[in-house]
Amino acid sequence: MVSTMALLPSFIRPTRMAKRSARPAGRPSGDETVLDAPDDRLSPALVLAGRGEFDAAARLLAVTRATAAWENHDRYVRRLAAFAGSRSEWFESWRAAAPRDPGLLLVRAQLAVDRAWPSPARAELLREVSPLITAAARADDRDPVPWRIALDHARGSRAGHRYFEELWEAAVRRAPHHYGCHVAALRYLAASCCVQWGDTPHTPRASHRECFDFADQAAQDAPADALVQALPARAAFGCLTDGCGPEIPRPRLDAAADRALALSARFPAADPWPAEIRNKLLYVLMRLDRWEDARDQLCLIGPYATSFPWERFSDDPLGHFLRLREHLLTPGPRPVPAGLMTRPPVPLGGLGGHDRAGDH
């Protein structure tokens, strides 16, 4: 929301199957659990892209743009860019056939950011991507997704706060409650908790408390069914994993989890659309020792594991999820092994390890 600006001073990956495991009553077995499953609109586009055909992907983005379905639009852009990163034939055909297609320009900008992100020279490489983001933004002035990409880009290139606030204002003017833009802003703010950059050497750091203030205000201002209701839980996840900054009081962490639980309950069980929100919430609940809530969330997750957040802790995110699930569903009190809930140290600011531009 614009009112929160003052709080600012950041074919899909193939579905993988796990080893066969014992099946808990009423839960899917490991062999039935999938990673990063697409929904029923994205899946056909990915299948056709795998055959080298781009028309379905182009239509999907055109429809979500025309109907202002910005949350879907953003998710599909990120997933199509991830697929283009591993299977580029369909994408190159799209570029040749329709170089000014707004959907093509969005996927191209997202792909360029994704490719630059893992490099030690990230900040320098990202500066070369700016014209692609500008082109995507100019293709449709209503679309907030180019501005979400610009916000991620600003975090990766360590842009100063003044510039970031200009991007933020432009993003929320187009979609005041867009989840992806809010996560990008939250991650920029969280990064400045741990590593300092900005307009002057004396730019003050943000704190985890400021991250929570930002997330709570955004959630309070949003409709009850908006994905932004999960933003405080995203702030809690950052606080529990970043390893820097002052601790947040336990009641505030619980309140963030409660808000995300209420949002999760609005979606059908075993649905790929809210799967990433539910997987992040599962981690937060386990870190807070809220075991019954965590088990209930497992029922809602069903067979839909997601790479994020589990790739933050393992190179085998599906296997990691299944090990956590098995531990959680085993009768009797047992402490969670530390290796299942923490990650190896990364450079300050979360700029290394498994950190990605699109971890929303």
Q: Looking at per-residue confidence, does 108 or 11 come out higher?
A: 108
Check: CB of residue 73 under 8 Å from CB of residue 61: yes
Check: CB of residue 282 under 8 Å from CB of residue 301: yes
Among 22-31, 139-148, 263-272, the range scoring the smallest mean pLDDT is 22-31
- Write the CA distances from 1 to 5, 137, 234, 252, integer angstroms: 7, 19, 17, 21
Q: Which of 62, 152, 127, 210 is nearest to 357 (CA)?
A: 152
What angle separates helix 55-66 from helix 102-116, to the nearest 10 degrees? 100
pTM for the model stands at 0.86
At 91-130, the pLDDT tens digits run 999 999 999 999 999 999 999 999 999 999 999 999 999 9
Token pair 């704190």 is found at 207
- The pLDDT value recorded for residue 80 is 98
- The pLDDT value recorded for residue 191 is 87
Structure tokens at 292: 């019954």
Judged against a pLDDT cut of 70, whether residue 334 lies above it is answered with no
Mean pLDDT, the chain, integer: 86
At 141-170, the pLDDT tens digits run 999 999 999 999 999 999 999 999 999 999
Rounded distance between C-alpha atoms, residue 221 and residue 229, angstroms: 9
- The pLDDT value recorded for residue 333 is 60
Secondary structure class of 304 (helix, strand, coil): strand
- The pLDDT value recorded for residue 206 is 56
- Write the CA distances from 275 to 37, 231, 278, integer angstroms: 9, 15, 5
> Counting runs of H as helices and runs of E as strands, what totals does the chain give?
18, 2
At 290-307, the pLDDT tens digits run 999 999 999 999 999 999
Judged against a pLDDT cut of 90, whether residue 52 lies above it is answered with yes
Judged against a pLDDT cut of 50, whether residue 132 lies above it is answered with yes
- The pLDDT value recorded for residue 19 is 36
Structure tokens at 352: 């290394």
Check: CB of residue 95 under 8 Å from CB of residue 104: yes
At 190-230, the pLDDT tens digits run 887 665 444 443 344 458 899 999 999 999 999 999 999 99
Rounded distance between C-alpha atoms, residue 201 and residue 123, angstroms: 18
